[in-house]
Amino acid sequence: MGGCRRVGVAVDFSPCSRKALQWAVDNLVRKGDHLILVSVRPIGYYETGELQLWETTGSPLIPLSDFSNHDNMKKYQVSPDPETLDIVSTASNQKEIIVLMKIFWGDAREKLCESIDGIPLDCLVIGNRGLGKIKRALMGSVSNFVVNNASCPVTVVKSHD
């Protein structure tokens, strides 16, 4: 049974986002799917004109071969960690999927919800740091916001570190 779905995974290259990515690869993606890593960076001062153009719409879809190259990713000010690259490279080869990355700049809660319709995604997997009630009340929960505002199914993978 072939795929052709667009499965999004929110990544910030932290242990909990790697766990969500691994869960998506193990349990969700299948042959023919597009696995799209969605990364949201904070708004900052960027020297190049390209980043100023992409700040509102996000970067173009970046193929695995480009985001595996550290020099290519300098212009986006993103450096994927080796563990994440290993997960997606292995999945690409073994499951015969297409892996892409899209980078947004701004508030993670809003940009993840925008990415669902903008890319568009069939579903989204997001990690949860497991903040306590007080920290979650003060800082806000990205996963809680996305679950309540997304226009597609969202899976939250809890981190139990």
Q: Which residues contact 79 (CB under 8 A, 6 or more apart)?
A: 13, 70, 73
Q: 94 exposed, middle or buried (CB, 10 Å; 0-12, 13-18, 19+)? A: exposed
Residue spans of beta strands (DSSP E) within 3-161 = 6-10, 34-41, 62-63, 98-105, 123-128, 154-158
Kindly list the domain boundaries of the chain, sorted by start residue: 26-106, 122-161
pLDDT value at position 131? 57
- Per-residue pLDDT tens, the chain, 161 aa: give them: 445 899 999 999 999 999 999 999 999 999 999 999 999 988 766 655 566 777 778 999 999 999 998 888 887 888 899 999 999 999 999 999 999 999 998 899 999 999 999 999 999 999 987 655 554 444 458 888 999 999 999 999 987 65
Q: Tell me the β-bridge partners of 40.
A: 104
Angle, alpha carbons 37-134-158 (nearest 5°): 35
